[in-house]
Amino acid sequence: MTALTSENCSFQYQLHQTNQPLDGNSLLFLITLGKILLNILTLGMRRKNNHQNFMEYFCISLAFTDLLLLVNISIISYFRDFVLLGIRFTKYHICLFTQIISFTYGFLHYPVFLIACIDYYLNFSKATKLPFKCQKVFYFFAVILIWISVLTYVLGDPAIYQSLKAQNVSSYQCPFYISIQSYWLSFSMVMILFMAFITSWSEVITLVQAVRITSYMNETVLYFPFSSHSSYTVSSKKTLLSKLIICFLGTWLPFVLLQIIILLLKVQIPAYIEMNIPWLYFVNSFLIATVFWFNCHKLNFRNMALPVDPFVNWKCCFIPLTIHNLEQIEKPISVIIC
């Protein structure tokens, strides 16, 4: 067998070489188990709703794929060396399967981002309105198609195939793919958030200083003075931008800070860890905020059904509401639930 040189490998696919014996796969098992528990926790904490979208279906498929990887690692670790359907499985296949999953996850970031963006744009503009059952079928087959397409590309790429073959020679080292797509996507979103904050920082600070925390209808809410001359339609992009930033950062600020630290320290995270459900929900909220801002002239919160975010209640950022039994407040006020 012919192994690729380390220079070619790092140049084309940024493989991170870890001097990790295959006998130490218990660490890989624990990492995958921890990721599955995080997926379950995130899915359990999300807002329950009947809204259908591509990202929700893809998150469920990702959780299933992680579970499938854990099952494969567990079976191979337990039996160590066995034959199934004429194929001999050994501990080497734990590294092989994890590498294939890493490559597949690493190439999914751009396609998922693009399809989710198109999905929200079409739903927002109401250019095409499919029946509920047709939507479910469409999203299901769209998720299946994207998985098959990326996996076919990974298995059919000659450079990736050669790097996987090389592992049969160097069986005491297991490289994992570091996704360049994830890096640039994270960098782009952080920079856009930074520029948006700089553009409207004075409005954001003013709103934050006016915010108070209270309880309303058994929920913890944030509220701030709302102009009595404002209507349900938001026509100014700059006015909307400050509220979107507060709403987004009110939920995702720790995650944004984590992304900044990872980018500054240039931390190399294997793709099979980096592609996870919290990351996808973060991207999902970012896309919803972006679609809102680009279509602010169409926003009329009396008559429209907004896309449902699993963690951020965007609609409550803009509904004028008079709350009684609150002392020393201006009326009407706007409520944010983050």
pLDDT digits (tens, 9 = 90+) for 68-83: 999 888 888 777 766 6
Beta bridge partners of 83: 88
pLDDT score recorded for residue 5: 42
End-to-end Cα spacing for the chain? 56
Q: Which amino acid is at 110?
A: Y
Residue 101 has pLDDT above 70, yes or no: yes
Residue 334: name the closest of 227, 196, 177, 262 by CA. 227
Range among 27-36, 49-58, 60-69 with highest mean pLDDT value: 60-69
Residue 255 CB contacts under 8 Å (≥ 6 apart), including other chains: 278, 282
pLDDT band for position 37 (50/70/90)?
A: very high
Residue 333 has pLDDT above 60, yes or no: no
Write the burial class of residue 131 (CB in 10 Å: 0-12 exposed, 13-18 middle, 19+ buried). Answer: exposed
Cα 277 to the chain's mean position, in Å? Answer: 6
Cα 87 to the chain's mean position, in Å? Answer: 36
Count Cβ atoms below 10 Å from residue 310 Cβ, excluding itself.
21
pLDDT score recorded for residue 143: 95
pTM over 0.85: no
pLDDT digits (tens, 9 = 90+) for 165-196: 665 544 456 777 888 999 999 999 999 999 98
Write the burial class of residue 112 (CB in 10 Å: 0-12 exposed, 13-18 middle, 19+ buried). Answer: buried
Question: Long-range contacts of range 1-6, CB-CB < 8 Å, 24 or more positions apart?
Answer: 1/165, 1/166, 1/168, 1/169, 2/162, 2/165, 2/166, 3/162, 3/165, 3/166, 3/169, 3/170, 4/159, 4/162, 4/163, 4/166
Q: What is the mean pLDDT of the chain?
A: 75
Residues 63, 40 contacting (CB under 8 angstroms): yes
Residue 65 CB contacts under 8 Å (≥ 6 apart), including other chains: 101, 147
What is the C-alpha separation between 122 and 140, in angstroms, rounded? 17
pLDDT score recorded for residue 130: 64
**Distance set, CA 244 to CA 32, 120, 200, 269, 317 (Å):** 34, 16, 11, 30, 8
The two beta strands, 87-89 and 333-336, are unpaired
